[in-house]
Amino acid sequence: MNEPTSPAGSLVCPIPVGHANAYLIRGTRPVLVDCGLPGSAPKILSALTREGLKPWDLALIIITHAHVGHYGSAAALVGATGAPVLVHAREADYLAKGASAPALPDALIGHMLGLFIGRHAPQPELAVQPVIRIDAPYRLDAFGVNGTIIPTPGHTNGSLSVILATGECIAGDLVMGMFPAGRPRLPIFAEDPEAAKKSIRTIIGTKPEIIHTGHGGPFSCGQVEALLT
């Protein structure tokens, strides 16, 4: 199988936060993609320190989708850094209420985990007001990164992915690597499974060298493309 290798000039620094991944994009200004469950802020702030950055250097926090495992520490990080939060317009209200977008099972493991995931009441202490709400491709130049955020619905209706000029993609949970470990698979939760496959084709069409995911990974473009055959 075609194993992924980081492209020359890689800008992406993975930050493991429990069962999920956050990512620091090291442009001329740093940008954070996702921020894990509540309580993950210290790990992320420590990662900034290791990169020689101060909390207030952070230019932007991108949330790929409104599941608490991906935005749970956003409010704490906004308090520590002052960085604005960006999310798809369709999912902004979930963040504003401390709620989660639906987690609809699309696989047996999803049905099993669904007994424990996606049924939580809103948690107002996690609420964060997104400053930037998008529903179309959005360039990151103003935040020091040569790349574009694109809507990639499927896992949730307002999922986003980040496409970087270095040949790197951060795809959130559009592709997952948890089950089995080390191999990519289609999302185990999907509001629209066919939209998810279409979004994967969109990502593949950008010809990334490496695809970073919210759980597991990274994967090569060939590994992910094989999911559609």
4: pLDDT confidence band, cut at 50, 70 and 90? Answer: confident
Using DSSP, state whether 54 is helix, strand or coil: coil
Provide the edge-to-edge strand list for the sheet that holds 160-164: 138-139, 147-151, 160-164, 168-170, 210-212
Distance CA 207, CA 215 (A): 21
Give the pLDDT of residue 78.
98
Better-predicted residue by pLDDT, 78 or 107: 78
The answer to whether the beta carbons of residues 169 and 207 sit under 8 Å apart is no
* pLDDT the model gives residue 69: 93
pLDDT tens-digit readout, 206-229:
999 999 999 999 999 999 999 998
Extract the tokens encoding 32.
């954070």
Average pLDDT, the chain: 91
Q: Confidence class of residue 178 from pLDDT cuts 50, 70 and 90?
A: low
Q: How many residues does the chain have?
A: 229
Query: What integer is the mean pLDDT of 52-58?
Result: 97
pLDDT band at 73 (very low <50, low <70, confident <90, very high): very high
Q: What is the reported pLDDT for 219?
A: 96
Q: In whole angstroms, give the CA distance from residue 18 to residue 23.
A: 13
Q: What are the tens digits of pLDDT across the range 109-132?
A: 544 454 445 456 789 999 999 999
Half-sphere exposure (Cβ direction) of 153: Cα atoms closer than 13 Å: 15
- pLDDT value at 106 more than 60: no
Mean per-residue pLDDT, 170-191: 85
Of residues 10 and 149, which shows the higher confidence score? 149
Question: Does 147 score more than 80 pLDDT?
Answer: yes
Q: What span, in angstroms and rounded, lies between the C-alpha atoms of 7 and 22?
A: 19
pLDDT at 3: 66
Domains and CATH numbers, the chain: 12-228 (3.60.15.10)
Q: What are the angstrom distances between the C-alpha of 138 and each of 92, 119, 162, 208, 211?
A: 16, 31, 9, 18, 19
Higher pLDDT, 227 or 104: 227
